[in-house]
Amino acid sequence: QQITVQPLTRVTETAAMTAAQHGGRAKCLQRLVRLGLPVPPTVALSFGAVSGIARGRMPDMAQMLEAFGPDPLLSVRPSSQEADWGGPGAILNIGMNDARHAALSGRLGEAAATQLYLRFVRAYAVHVARLDPDVFDMPAEPTAEALAERLRAYEEEAEEPFPQDIAVQLSGVLRSMARAWEGTSARLLREAKGAPADAGLGLVVQEMALGLGPEESGSGLIQFVDGATGAPRVTGRYRSQSQGRAALSGAGAIEMTGEGGFEGLCPEAFAALLEHGALCRERLREEMQIEFTVQAGRLRVLDAVRVQRSARAAVNIAVALAEDGVIARRDAVMRIAPQALGELLHRQVDPAAARQSIVRGIAASPGAASGRIVLSASEAQAAAARGEPCILVRRETTPEDIRGMHAAQAVLTVRGGITSHAAVIGRGLGLPCVVGASELVVDRKARCVIAPGGRRFAEGEVITLDGTAGEVLAGQPALLEPALDGAFRTLLDWADDFRDIGVRANADTPADARIARTFAAEGIGLCRTEHMFFEEARIGLMREMIFAEEPADRRAVLDRLLPLQRADFTALFEIMEGQPVCIRLFDPPLHEFLPSGRAGMRELAEGLALPLADVEARIEALTEYNPMLGMRGVRLGLTVPEIYEMQARAIFEATVEASGSGAPVVPEVMIPLVSAMKEVELVKGRIDAVAAQVRAATGSTFDYRLGVMVETPRAALRAEEIAQHASFLSFGTNDLTQMTYGLSRDDAGRFMSAYVQLGVYEEDPFLTLDLEGVGELLRIGSERGRAGREGITLALCGEHGGSRKAIDFCRGQRFDYVSCSPFRVPLARLSAAQLAL
C-alpha cells in the first residue's frame, strides 16, 4: 500500500509507518501502541529524515517537541530495518540542564537528579561533542562538585558552555547518530550481516519514564521463554533506581520471579507484564522481550524486541506458535534457517565459551569435538581402546585411515578440499572435520603439530575441533549437546508437506542407511560401493583384487567378495524397506586403495604372500600420474569386466533375498565416470546377462533400473544418446566440478582461499555449486537427457546436493531428487520446502 512518508511521525495507532521506511523498532512500537500497551509518547524519524539530518537538513525541532509534555526528558534510539543490522547506541536524558536539575532535585532528591545530569553530560560530551571519554567518566558519588567539574571541563574542551536548550541538545544528538550510521566501520559491520549498501536508519525519540524517584522506580527486561531451549519460562532482570538496559547487567539487579524477585516487589506491574507478553505473542506472532520502566509504581513499556534464541529454541518456539494456532505451519517452516539445523544435529562449541584459535581450515563436516591429538590411525584405535577421546591429525587421509577415523572424535587434515577423502568420509560418519589447514605442520618424528606462529602441540595434548566454523581450538571449551527432539521432527514433517523435490541420502553402509532413515530420506541416491571396503577387514580383499594379475587369481578374490557384497546389499534393502536404493558400481580411484609408505607395503606383501619387491613393482605399474582422471569407474569396469559382473550378481541375489522377506525391491544400478554412450551399452549388455542368469537360477522375476552418473563434461554433452540406454541420470557434481574447472578436488585446498580472496572465484566451487559453468553443463545434460528419453529420472548426488542453491537450481530444472550426506538430509528437506513456499 502506498503511504506518504512524513519525516516526523508521531507513533499512534493510525500513523502511516513501515519497517522499510521507519525501521523495525519504530514499527514494533506502533504495534505495541495498537495493542494498548502503556508506551510513552514517541516520534519516529524516517530513513529519509535521518539521511537528511546527516547532510545538515534538521527537521523542525519545535514541531517535534510538541509531541511531548512540557519540559520532557527524551531518549533517542536507532531503528534499522532489521534489528541485527545494529545502529548507534541509545542516548538518554536529553533535556537535562541546570533548571531541570534544580526542579528534579526537589522531586527526586539531589543525588538522583545529579546522577541523571552527569549521565547526560557524559553521553553528550562523548558522542555528540566527541570529547575525551576519560575526562567524563562517571564519579563514584554523584556530588555537586563532580557535576560542576564536568560542566567546567565541557566548557574548556568544547570552547562553549554545555547547551541548556533541549532543541539544541536534541539536534546535536540526532546529527551525531545520523552521521555514525554513515561511518565506514558501521557500514562494514552491517553489510557483514547482510544489509544492503544503502540500508537506511530510522530514529525513535521517546519521552523518558525516569526509573528514579522516591517511590518504587526502576527499569527492567522480561521475556516469557528460555532463549536457550525455547521452553516457556519467565526470566529477566529488574533494578530499582536505574535506567536503560546497561544497568541491568551489573550487581544490584534482581530476577523476575522467586525469592526477592520483581514479582514480589511489584505484583501489579508483574501481572500486567505477563498479560502484555501473552498479547504480544498472540498478536505480534512472536516471543518478545519487553523493556519496561516503573515510575512510582506505574508501568511503562519502552520497547519490545524478538527474544534472542539458539537454533534449538528457534525450532521449539516456531513449532509451539504453530501448534497454538498463532502462526500457520508454513510460517513455522519459513522461520528456521536451514543451516541452523546443523547446530541441532551435532555438538557445538558453546557460543559463550572462550575460543583460543590454533589454526583455520575448510569447514568440511559440522560439529565439534575435543580430544587428544593422535597422528596415526593405529594410535587413534589405541586411544579408543583405552576409552580416550582423540582427534586424528593427518596430512591427508586414505582408506587406511578409515579405521582410525571411526575411532576418532574428529579429523583434521593439512591438505584437501571440501570433496577430499577426509571430508566425504567425515560427513558420511557425521564426524566433525576440518581439512586444508595448510598453515599447520605435522611433524611425525617430533610427535607434534606446529601451529602458525610456531606454537607446538604435542601428541596427547587436548585440542577441540570446530567443524562448523572450520577452526581448531586449544584446550576444551564447553560444548552444547545435539537436540533431536520432537519439535525438530515435527517441523521437518511439516516441511515435507510443502516440498516438491525428493531428498535422498548418500549412504554406503547399513549404519549410514539407518541414519538416512532416521532423518526420513526418501531412499538412497548414491551408495559408493568402494566405500564398503574401507573397513580394516575388507580393504585387504580390495587390494588383492586390484593386485591380481591373472584372471584366475582375480576370480578367486571376487568369489570371496561376492558373499560380502550380497550381505551388504541385502542389509541396505532391508533397512530401506522398499524405498529406492541406488547402487553405484565400483569407482575406486586406485591411489585411494594402494598402501602408502613402506609399512603399508610390507603389510600387503604379507597378506598376499608376495615378496616386497613384487608388491613394489606392481604398485609402480599401477601408479598413475593423474589417478582421478585415470583407471576409474567404468574404465575399470570395462577393462576388468568380472568386477562389475560380480557386483551385479550380488545386487540381484540380494534383491531376490530381500524381496522374499519384505517389500519387493527394484534396485537401481548406476555406472560411474561415463564419457561415451558405448560404455553404457557394453556394461548394460553384461548386466542384463547377469540378471538373466540370476532370474534363471533363482526362478524369480525381478526388475532393475540402470542409470548413468553424469560427471564428465562429455557425458553431459552426449546425454541425449546416453539416455537411450539409461532410465535415470544422476549428476555427480564433485567430479563434474573437478573436470569443468580442470581443478583437482584433492589439491584445490592449497590455493582455494587465495583464489576466493582475490575474487577469482566468488566461492569454493566444490562447496557452492557453480551455476554459471557447471550449472550450464547440468542444464545441457538434463535437457539432452530428456530429449533422449522422455520422462527420464534426473537427480543430483554430488556434495552440493544438500545446499539451498543446488536445490533451487534442481527445482528449476525439474529434477526428481537431490541426494546428500545423511546428516544434511534434514537441511535439504527444510530448504526444499522453503523454496517451494
Q: Tell me the three-class secondary structure of 299-368, residue by residue.
A: EEEEEEEECCCCHHHHHHHHHHHHHCCCCCHHHHHHHCCHHHHHHHHCCEECCCCCCCEEEECEEEECCE
Count the residues of the shown chain that bind ligand PEP, applying the rule CB under 6 A.
Answer: 11
675 binds ligand PEP (CB under 6 A): no
In 389-457, which ranges are continuous DSSP H helix? 402-407, 421-429
Residue 647 binding: pick among ligand PEP, Mg ion, none (C-beta 5-8 Å cut-off by kind) = none
CB of 253 to Mg ion, least distance (A): 59
652 vs 507: CA distance, rounded Å: 19
- Give the DSSP letter of residue 798: S
CB 722 within 8 A of CB 783: no
| Segment 522 to 541, residues that bind ligand PEP, using CB under 6 A | 526, 528
645 vs 686: CA distance, rounded Å: 7
733 binds ligand PEP (CB under 6 A): yes
Site string for Mg ion, 722-761 (x = CB under 5 A): ----------x--x--------------------------
Task: Output the furthest CA–CA distance in the chain (Å, rounded).
Answer: 107
Site string for ligand PEP, 364-403 (x = CB under 6 A): ----------------------------------------
Is the Cβ of residue 91 or residue 673 nearer to ligand PEP in the bound state? 673
CB of 630 to ligand PEP, least distance (A): 13
Is the Cβ of residue 702 or residue 741 nearer to Mg ion in the bound state? 741
> By CB under 6 A, which span of 331-339, 726-734, 755-763, 828-836 interacts with ligand PEP?
726-734
CB of 381 to Mg ion, least distance (A): 29
Of 38, 232, 243, the residue nearest 120 (C-alpha): 243
**Torsion angle defined by CA atoms of residues 545, 548, 550 and 555, in that order, rounded to the nearest 10 degrees:** -20
272 vs 35: CA distance, rounded Å: 13
72 binds ligand PEP (CB under 6 A): no
Residue 574 binding: pick among ligand PEP, Mg ion, none (C-beta 5-8 Å cut-off by kind) = none
Q: Which three-class secondary structure state does DSSP give residue 10?
A: strand
Residue 509 binding: pick among Mg ion, ligand PEP, none (C-beta 5-8 Å cut-off by kind) = none
Is the Cβ of residue 220 or residue 732 nearer to Mg ion in the bound state? 732
- Per CB under 6 A, the list member of 732, 765, 781, 822 interacting with ligand PEP is 732
Residues that are catalytic: 421, 797
- Beta strand 441-443 with 581-584 is unpaired
734 binds ligand PEP (CB under 6 A): yes
Residue 798 binding: pick among Mg ion, ligand PEP, none (C-beta 5-8 Å cut-off by kind) = ligand PEP
Task: Let me know how long the chain is.
Answer: 837
| Segment 696 to 725, residues that bind Mg ion, using CB under 5 A | 711
Residue 733 binding: pick among ligand PEP, Mg ion, none (C-beta 5-8 Å cut-off by kind) = ligand PEP
| Segment 433 to 472, residues that bind Mg ion, using CB under 5 A | none
735 binds ligand PEP (CB under 6 A): yes
530 binds Mg ion (CB under 5 A): no
CB 76 within 8 A of CB 143: no
Residue nearest to Mg ion (CB): 735
Is the Cβ of residue 142 or residue 749 nearer to ligand PEP in the bound state? 749
Q: Is 171 left (phi over 0), alpha (psi -120 to 50) or beta?
A: alpha
CB of 785 to ligand PEP, least distance (A): 16
509 binds ligand PEP (CB under 6 A): no
> By CB under 6 A, which span of 98-106, 113-121, 714-722, 733-741 interacts with ligand PEP?
733-741
| Residue 800: other Cβ atoms inside 10 A | 28
Is the Cβ of residue 401 or residue 735 nearer to Mg ion in the bound state? 735
Q: Which amino acid is at 799?
A: E
Locate cell 566461492: which residue?
763
Rg of the chain on CA atoms, in Å: 33
CB of 700 to Mg ion, least distance (A): 32
Is the Cβ of residue 657 or residue 770 nearer to ligand PEP in the bound state? 770
CB 614 within 8 A of CB 549: no
Residue 97 binding: pick among Mg ion, ligand PEP, none (C-beta 5-8 Å cut-off by kind) = none
Is the Cβ of residue 68 or residue 533 nearer to Mg ion in the bound state? 533
Q: Is residue 639 classed exposed, middle or buried when 0-12, 13-18 and 19+ CB atoms within 10 A define those classes?
A: exposed
271, 364, 453, 761, 804 from 752: Cα distances, Å: 58, 14, 22, 8, 22
Residue nearest to ligand PEP (CB): 732
Is the Cβ of residue 329 or residue 415 nearer to ligand PEP in the bound state? 415
369 vs 478: CA distance, rounded Å: 10
360 vs 440: CA distance, rounded Å: 9
Residue 426 binding: pick among Mg ion, ligand PEP, none (C-beta 5-8 Å cut-off by kind) = none
Residue 287 binding: pick among Mg ion, ligand PEP, none (C-beta 5-8 Å cut-off by kind) = none
Of 690, 680, 646, 652, the residue nearest 668 (C-alpha): 652
CB of 791 to Mg ion, least distance (A): 25
- Provide the CA 396 distance to its chain's centre, in angstroms: 25
- Give the DSSP letter of residue 271: H
| Segment 405 to 434, residues that bind ligand PEP, using CB under 6 A | 419
CB of 736 to ligand PEP, least distance (A): 6
- Give the DSSP letter of residue 701: -
Residue 528 binding: pick among ligand PEP, Mg ion, none (C-beta 5-8 Å cut-off by kind) = ligand PEP
| Segment 556 to 615, residues that bind ligand PEP, using CB under 6 A | 587
| Segment 6 to 25, residues that bind Mg ion, using CB under 5 A | none
797 binds ligand PEP (CB under 6 A): yes
Is the Cβ of residue 316 or residue 730 nearer to ligand PEP in the bound state? 730
Is the Cβ of residue 78 or residue 781 nearer to ligand PEP in the bound state? 781
94 binds ligand PEP (CB under 6 A): no
In order, the DSSP letters of 541-604 are HHHHHHH--SHHHHHHHHHHHHHHHHHHHHHHHHHHTTS-EEEEP----HHHHS--HHHHHHHH
CB 256 within 8 A of CB 233: no
Is the Cβ of residue 467 or residue 633 nearer to ligand PEP in the bound state? 633
Q: At what angle do helices 311-323 and 486-498 cross, to 10 degrees?
A: 70
Q: Please list the residues that pair with 582 across neighbouring strands.
A: 668
CB of 736 to Mg ion, least distance (A): 8
| Segment 296 to 335, residues that bind ligand PEP, using CB under 6 A | none
- Per CB under 6 A, the list member of 544, 711, 746, 770 interacting with ligand PEP is 711
CB of 807 to ligand PEP, least distance (A): 15
Helix (H), strand (E) at residue 374: strand 368-374
Residue 797 binding: pick among ligand PEP, Mg ion, none (C-beta 5-8 Å cut-off by kind) = ligand PEP
Of 454, 559, 499, 355, the residue nearest 830 (C-alpha): 499
672 vs 730: CA distance, rounded Å: 10
CB 480 within 8 A of CB 315: no
- Provide the CA 54 distance to its chain's centre, in angstroms: 37
Is the Cβ of residue 243 or residue 733 nearer to ligand PEP in the bound state? 733
* Strands across the sheet containing 448-450: 441-443, 448-450, 456-458
Is the Cβ of residue 207 or residue 735 nearer to Mg ion in the bound state? 735
Of 546, 522, 634, the residue nearest 585 (C-alpha): 634
CB of 672 to Mg ion, least distance (A): 6
- Residues of this chain that interact with ligand PEP (CB under 6 A) are 419, 526, 528, 587, 711, 732-735, 797-798
- Residues of this chain that interact with Mg ion (CB under 5 A) are 711, 732, 735
